[in-house]
Structure 1
């Protein structure tokens, strides 16, 4: 059977448009991440960012909480580097420059709180589990507040650079919100 050029071009275009299958995540593994992320506000982001943990975390709320905080730390580090880079370039002026300085400070504080949270998640103890969960929840909530504080400094401002900064900070807050939900799920599941 001979293919006309139009059919061949259509076939090639359709093969490019068809999303690749994720052969590294089996159907069962995929259900683990979907179940874990069901408690989060930004479920698609959660599933995309944590799918690679399915094989090891399975149904363990502790592992999912650690994974959520770990991924959030990575995103927060990337955005902190971006903010520090903006600060060094000295490209924002006036009120926006002051807001950027505050942003860098609060993001470093957020990173500290996320690192403390991960450290405790790695050493959970049945005897003090409730206290540990309270501490972790407080620290992650504080990180979320820090991210909101950063955004508040740029409220009502325009410009491409400001919009990009706001987009990056908002994305980090979505990750942090998801991490907090995974920790809450762990807290409710118990030790």
Structure 2
């Protein structure tokens, strides 16, 4: 039995709105809707989401396929970058490179990668310990902490080269029985399923 970690797809970038409150763009909604039409989306038994707007919106679209209620869990959000506020895309990419390259240090007040990794691993493990192998489960969240979780589960060092491709809306799968990796980053709307 597999678990999925799904990252939200494209968002509406609103510099005057706190990043955790950004919602999906039209393209992001379209991609999530396409993924919800896949057979795998109908087989999910639980959908867990970060409390950030873009993740909740993605999870709600996916939940429509299986008639599930989204479980919003505190502490599953993206790495805390509030110390710098909004960074234009080019500067953000440079900051993200630094974040992954220096996992035990803080980029200008950001949550350290090792701390964000410990947080997301602890939340996912707590949920899975309760869930057991009761059926496919999906976690909907963010690229940074998703990559940190993937590095932990796949036995990889923290590094940006393990990050998802493109603008989000990807997933990876891992086995519930032993938490081993089963599928690397794949676009959510093209994944073939369980």
Question: TM-score of the superposition, structure 1-length normalised?
Answer: 0.29
User: TM-score under structure 2 normalisation?
Assistant: 0.29
**Greater RCO structure (CA 8 Å; 6+ sep):** 2
In terms of fraction of residues, the more helix-rich structure is 1
Greater share of residues in strand: 2
